[in-house]
Chain A
Amino acid sequence: MINRKLAKFLSLQYVVLALILILAAAGLLLLPKYVKHEGIDTKELLSNTFSNERYISTDELANNIVNQDPSFILIDVRDSISFKKNSLPNAINIPLKKILNEEASAYLDQDQFDVVLYSNTNFYADQAWMLCNRLGYKNLRVLKGGINEWFHTIINPTKPTENMPATAFELYSFRKAASMYFGVAYLDAIPKKVVKKVVRKKVKTVKKKKKKKPEGGC
């Protein structure tokens, strides 16, 4: 009699154990909802944020545009009013508010092109960059200083003074040439060159005469 009861209990114990497991599994459903963390790890975002890799200087950008580098696209994150007023050549306008839209991600979330973000300074472009970097978008750059810096360095470069090193003059002539490419006219650029050419020709003819005389004497 006792044996039978024991046997019955023993056969039940598997059912009980299974029930306990099922109950425990059901308990998992009641756990606080695990929030899925969007984007890359915070530490990674921090180190990405404070590396200067994301910045592209205005000179680099000007060089790319002048050489008609096809591997990058420019994105203006300001609103459409200021975009219409002034913008960089061939830029696409995606206002900061719409940066997470699906249409925008077609431009931002790809690995074919380098994307250069800019705004008036690098303030709003940095914000856009932070959000996109968290989402793991690659190949994003920010124009250092934005349009303001572009205007001060490329469109309206300051002339170096005489005590500055030769590199400053090289940079100035590059910037001046770049600004001419972007349609800035310099009053002193055209007439001076013509005058110089005439003078050089005269000097050359004089030199040739001098050289010929001793040859004839020998």
Chain B
Amino acid sequence: MKELEKTKRISIAAILAILAIVIAVLSFKKPKHLYAINTKDTLEKITTYDYFISLDKINNPDYVLVDLRNQHEFDKGHLKGAIHVYAPEILSEINSDILKDLKENSKKIILYATNPNEAISSYMLLYQLGYDDIKILCVENSYHQNKLITKMLV
């Protein structure tokens, strides 16, 4: 009788322990996007000011232009060969797959938007996520009679 009670207790304890482990494993969810670079290093990077690139230097097969503006503006007109990634959806599954692919193929990502002011937040976000080889294109885009006008900024 005593023996039986002992095994009963042990089996209950074992089942509880296994349950706890299973629940722990199931509920463990690794966040998809993690910071790779801390704020101090990011600050050091952004105060070197070497993350700008001018329009005449982008003729390189390893460079990929990424348009951060919205769908409507992208459809209206965009720079040649640009990929469309709408800035607020930059972490969505499709977009992060695109960016990851570019990074793995060691392409340089060059961001542009209506002006550098609008591209900087995306740049900061991507940089902190570990995309350390990206640049901002120094241009200002506007439309004149439905044609994209790209003005170079100094």
List chain A positions with a Cβ less than 8 A from chain B.
37-39, 41-43, 45-47, 49-50, 96-97, 99-100, 121-123, 126-127, 130-131, 134-135
Contact = CB atoms under 8 A, between A and B. Distances in A.
B39 A123 contact: no
A134 B128 contact: yes
Contact of B33 (A42, A49, A100): A42
Contacts of A131: 39, 42-43, 124
Contacts, number: 63
A47 B120 CA distance: 15
Contact of A97 (B34, B47, B124): B47
B39 to A, nearest CB: 5
A121 B42 CA distance: 20
A123 B128 CA distance: 17
Interface of B: 31, 33-35, 38-40, 42-43, 46-47, 87-88, 90-91, 116-117, 120-121, 124-125, 128-129
Nearest to A47: B88
A42 B47 contact: no
Contacts of A41: 31
A38 to B, nearest CB: 5
Contact of A134 (B33, B39, B91, B120): B39
29 contacts: A37-B34, A38-B38, A38-B39, A39-B35, A39-B39, A42-B35, A42-B91, A42-B128, A42-B129, A45-B125, A46-B88, A49-B121, A50-B88, A96-B43, A96-B47, A97-B43, A123-B116, A126-B121, A126-B124, A127-B120, A130-B121, A130-B124, A130-B125, A131-B43, A131-B124, A134-B35, A134-B39, A134-B128, A135-B39
A134 B125 CA distance: 10
B15 to A, nearest CB: 18
Contacts of B42: 131
Majority DSSP secondary structure for residues of B touching A: helix
B69 to A, nearest CB: 13
Nearest to B44: A97
Contact of A127 (B34, B35, B90, B124): B124
Contact of A126 (B31, B40, B91, B117): B117
B120 A123 contact: yes
B46 A127 contact: yes
Contacts of A134: 35, 39, 128
Contacts of B125: 42, 45-46, 49, 130
Contacts of A49: 121, 124-125
Contacts of B117: 121-123, 126
A46 B85 CA distance: 14
Nearest to A40: B35
Nearest to A145: B117
Contacts of B33: 42-43
Given A50-B87, A97-B43, A100-B39, 4 more contacts: A42-B35, A43-B33, A50-B121, A127-B124
A96 B40 CA distance: 12
A43 B35 contact: no
Contacts of B31: 41-43
Given A42-B129, A46-B90, A99 B121 contact: no
